[in-house]
Amino acid sequence: MNMVLTTFNPVGLGFRRELIPALQQAVPPEIGFFEIAPENWAGMGGRSAHMLRAFTERYPFLCHGLSLSLGGPGALDEILLRRTRDFMREHGMTLFTEHLSWCADDSHLYDLLPIPQTEEAVRYTAERIARAQDILGMRIGVENASTYIAPPGAEMTEPEFVRAVVERADCLLHLDVNNIYVNSRNFGFDPHAYLAQLPLERTCYVHVAGHCVEEDGLVIDTHGSDVIDPVWQLLQAAYQRMGHPVPTCLERDFNIPDLPTLAQEVAHIARLQQQAFAPVTQRVHPQKVA
């Protein structure tokens, strides 16, 4: 039986296969939960399933999808949604988030592409999010994505589009502060002004990560480097605007350092939370939503 975890330390780390041997030896106390991509684990059996169960029985896990293509032209993948729902129930997971982007048509494109910022796209995407919520049986969080092209025909700004979709779908916001910083560098806007326009009152989850800068100055959201000071500052500003603790995950997908090094960055997230929310308790409830 899964432990019923009603509260948890709201600072976590992405669950990566490269880290599993070290995590099996000991999970650093700084890590309060893990994030997992259901596409990579749902339906697995044998040794992998047994190993995952050993962790989900001891630690909270949150689900972050990679391929639902909420704004895409292809049919919504309801088979994936039902598989995700069953996987989450099996392991006692209570939060699912996805990117506010699209990544598939007839087949997967293996990239996250921006959605046109139009009223029609707001209606279309919100309807798909509402359908996803119906299947999953919970409100989901949608993540502001990193983008490298600006879709033509914009009728609103990107933060206005995010707010419109979230409010029309009556869903939650998954805030990624590194994505805001990456886009601000590539498109030349003030990341703090952007942050102030988002519906932060609906924030259910936060990502923080590193990125790389190409020789021509293009900033790429790689999750393969340490978090830099301007991104930490943006996270601190987000916390101050939210006014309440929100589960926050450190993403590291490439050039993964050893576990103690990752734990230091996780601990820095905890320090920023303590500064922003003291004397608010650091034990928060996961987003259990109907």
Contact 144, 180 (CB under 8 A): yes
Residue 152 within a domain: yes
Count other C-beta atoms under 10 Å from residue 286's C-beta: 20
Distance, in Å, from the CA atom of 186 to the CA atom of 50, rounded to the nearest integer, reads 43
260: preceding bond cis by omega (within 30 degrees): no
Give the model's pLDDT for residue 279. 65
**Average pLDDT of the residues of the chain:** 90
CA distances from 278 to 202, 212, 245, 270, 282 (A): 21, 33, 10, 11, 8
Q: What are phi and psi of 174, to 5 degrees?
A: -105, 110
Residue 266 within a domain: yes
Contact 221, 144 (CB under 8 A): no
In 3D space, the residue among 288, 236, 251, 269 whose CA is nearest the CA of residue 7 turns out to be 288
DSSP state at residue 285: -
Q: What are phi and psi of 284, to 5 degrees?
A: -115, 160
- Record the tokens describing residue 101, joined without a space: 């982007």
Residue 262 within a domain: yes
Domain that holds residue 92: 11-277
As a whole number of angstroms, the longest Cα–Cα distance in the chain is 53
Residue 240 within a domain: yes
**Which residues lie across from 72 on neighbouring strands?**
none
Residue 282 has pLDDT above 90, yes or no: no
Residue 237 within a domain: yes
Per-residue model confidence as pLDDT tens digits over 220-279: 999 899 999 999 999 999 999 998 889 999 999 989 999 999 999 999 999 999 999 886
pLDDT level of residue 79 (50, 70, 90 thresholds) = very high
Distance, in Å, from the CA atom of 140 to the CA atom of 172, rounded to the nearest integer, reads 6
Distance, in Å, from the CA atom of 132 to the CA atom of 250, rounded to the nearest integer, reads 26
Residues with Cβ < 8 Å from 184, sequence gap 6 or more?
190, 191, 194
DSSP strand pairing (33-36 vs 11-14): parallel
| Between residues 10 and 5, the one the model is more confident about | 10
* Long-range contacts formed by 185-189: CB under 8 A, 24+ apart: 185/213, 185/217, 185/219, 186/147, 186/148, 186/218, 186/219, 187/150
Q: What are phi and psi of 112, to 5 degrees?
A: -100, 115
- Record the tokens describing residue 48, joined without a space: 């992998």
Report the pLDDT averaged over residues 178-182. 97
The CATH number assigned to the domain holding 261 equals 3.20.20.150
Residue 289 within a domain: no
In what helix (H) or strand (E) does residue 220 lie, and over which residues does it extend?
A: strand 219-220
| Between residues 94 and 151, the one the model is more confident about | 94
Domains of the chain: total: 1
Question: Can you tell me whether residue 16 is helix, strand or coil?
Answer: coil
Give the model's pLDDT for residue 102. 75
pLDDT level of residue 149 (50, 70, 90 thresholds) = confident
Distance, in Å, from the CA atom of 257 to the CA atom of 121, rounded to the nearest integer, reads 40
Question: Can you tell me whether residue 144 is helix, strand or coil?
Answer: coil
Residue 286 within a domain: no
- Record the tokens describing residue 206, joined without a space: 């936060």
Residue 3 within a domain: no
Report the pLDDT averaged over residues 41-66. 92
pLDDT level of residue 81 (50, 70, 90 thresholds) = very high
Write down the pTM of the prediction.
Answer: 0.91
Angle at CA of residue 88, ends 274 and 115, nearest 5°: 75
